[in-house]
Amino acid sequence: MNDTPMVEADRVSKSFGSNQVLRSISLTVKRGEVMCLVGPSGSGKSTFLRCINHLESVDAGRLRVDGALVGYRERGDKLHELKPQEAALQRRDIGMVFQRFNLFPHMTALENIIEAPLRVKRMSRAKAIERATDLLAQVGLDDKAASYPAHLSGGQQQRVAIARALAMDPKLMLFDEPTSALDPELVGEVLDVMKQLAKEGMTMIVVTHEMGFAREVADSLVFMDGGVVVESGVPREVLANPQHGRTQSFLSKVL
């Protein structure tokens, strides 16, 4: 089996103006691994996630997905920016789920899901609809294909958003606080879909505040604060016995 790590960050840094949000982040996500990124808001976890699919570009260090440098090509010792088409090609293998769902409101659930396969992968309409129908069934929404997002609950919208990302057959799924915008009673249905996905072997990086999910599903847990990785390890151990003071004080507030 291919043992190239799915994501490999080597001293990655990123600044917005004078505000350095990522400071020399190094971490590795193996194939099939589920990693949870936790930490206080402003700790840089979302920014790191967005760097992985090049919604933001990194300023320093090397970030590789499946062995390929994100957003750049290495020629000799020089980095060349990728053309927009090449960057898009990298992104289509990386699914992303947003805190605010970001479904396309003018399209039905089904149309949301088939849009990218039709336009980006040039899949035939029949095949795309067939796949979308399967995916909707997988997230438990086969009866909502014709509904517009405005008529779905938050949990249903997020499940459609997951199905939409899966429709591109990604090798890596990024979740940016997927349950933070949900009413408490709707969190479970989204986490269930994610658990199922993890069970099927999807490589996932999840920014979350759901420590229960992290403990139960994740293979590794990374605690970030102030743009640095403070602590990482097996979730059960980090959660039960945090070594670092900042981790302890954070966990004491959220657990």
- Chain residues binding another protein by CB under 8 A are 53, 55, 84-85, 88-89, 91-96, 98, 100, 102-108, 110, 115-116, 119-120, 125-126, 129-130, 133, 143, 145-153, 155-156, 161, 164-165, 168
- CB 184, min distance to another protein, A: 14
* Closer of 165 and 187 to another protein (Cβ): 165
Contacts 24+ apart (CB under 8 A), 78-81: none
Query: Distance (Å, rounded) from C-alpha 222 to C-alpha 232?
Result: 4
Q: Which residues contact 211 (CB under 8 A, 6 or more apart)?
A: 38, 239, 251, 254, 255
The size of the chain, in residues, is 255
Q: Which tokens hold the place of 73?
A: 């090509």
Q: Quick one: 110 or 202, whose CB is closer to another protein?
A: 110
Q: Residue written as tokens 């099927």? A: 200
- The nearest distance, CB 97 to another protein, in angstroms, is 9
Q: How far is the CB of 3 from another protein (least distance, A)?
A: 26
| Cα separation values, 15 from 60, 69, 175, Å | 9, 19, 22
Report the residue number, 89 or 240, with the smaller CB distance to another protein: 89
- Cβ at position 189, least distance to another protein in Å: 10
Give every CB contact of residue 138 below 8 A, 6+ residues apart in sequence.
163, 166, 193, 196
Least distance (Å) from another protein to the CB of residue 63? 16
Nearer to another protein (CB atom), residue 137 or residue 255? 137
Between 22 and 173, whose beta carbon lies closer to another protein?
173
Tokens of 123: 């899949």
